[in-house]
Each structure stands twice: as C-alpha cells, then as structure tokens.
Amino acid sequence: MLRPIRNFSLVSAIFAICGLVACSTIATFDQAAYDKATGAKAEALALMDKATGSFNSHLTEIEAVNLTIDKAYEYDRGRLQNSITVQQWEVLRDPNKNLFGGFIRRWREKGSLKPDYITEKKKDIADAFDQITGLEIGKPKNH
C-alpha cells in the first residue's frame, strides 16, 4: 500500500527510533584488553614452572605477575558493559577458588609444589585464560 507523505517525517521517525534503540548488551572487541590477557597468560604459565622452588625465593616474580594480572583485570573493569569478562577474571584470581589465585595460595601454604601437579595445573590455567581471550575475540568488532 502506497501511503502519501508530505515530507520525510515518517522516515525521520524511523531513523530516530533506530538511533535510540541501537544499544548493545556487551562491550566491543578491544585489542588492548586481548593483548593484556595473552601477556598475563604467558607470564602466569612461566611463573608456574618455578613453583617447584620455594615460594619465598620467588616473591618478587610472584608480585610482578600478580600486578600484570591486576592491570588486565582493572583495564577490563573500566570498560562499559564488560561485566562478564570481569566475572571471568574474578574466578581466575580468587585465592579461595582453584585456578591461578588458588595456585598461588597453595604455593604459599605448601612452600613448593610437585612437578606433576604443576604440569597438570598449567593446562587448566592456560584454558582459563583462553576462556577470557575467547570471549574477547567473539565480541562485536564495532557497532
């Protein structure tokens, strides 16, 4: 049906509605966030190899890696509509859970860790970081 229009009011209205509705539910892809997560993964896995040695003799390195992870986490916390990635970081960092935060807690409590345990745990920590980068890659490239 062809309805007459005197001006472009209808089209303008459609544009206006679309402009208002064009919202997003998740942050767009961020290369810096992706780079920070992959960098943190590499540092974390390299540190884990040293956990056969004593916790106290690696304090400086442990603090450095924790700082790298904290920076990546804080960067993601500062992004709009990024709560899911932030939750992932919180699971990874939580010392009361059983991923990287838990690994560091166990290293501190036990003094040192067994090589076979470390080898196996590294697979999980790598997988955990991959869940973060996998989500980042899957975010819309732009809106």
Q: Which residues are CB-neighbours of 39 under 8 A, at least 6 positions away?
A: 68, 72
Q: CA-CA distance, 29 to 136, in Å (whole number)?
A: 6
Among 15, 52, 57, 111, binds another protein (CB under 8 A): 15
Question: If binding is defined by CB under 8 A, does position 99 make contact with another protein?
Answer: yes
Query: Among 84, 95, 112, 122, which residue sits at the site for another protein (rule: CB under 8 A)?
Result: 84
Q: State which of residues 35, 38, 95, 128 lies at the interface with another protein (CB under 8 A).
A: 128
Q: Which residues contact 4 (CB under 8 A, 6 or more apart)?
A: none
String marking each residue 51-80 x if it binds another protein according to CB under 8 A? ------------------------------
Nearest to 104 by CA among 142, 37, 50: 50
Helix (H) or strand (E) holding 114: none
Where would I find the beta strands (DSSP E) of 24-73?
none
Interacting residue ranges for another protein, rule: CB under 8 A: 1-8, 10-11, 14-15, 18, 21-26, 84-85, 87-88, 91-92, 97-99, 102, 106, 113-114, 116-117, 120-121, 123-124, 127-128, 131-132, 134-135, 138-140, 143
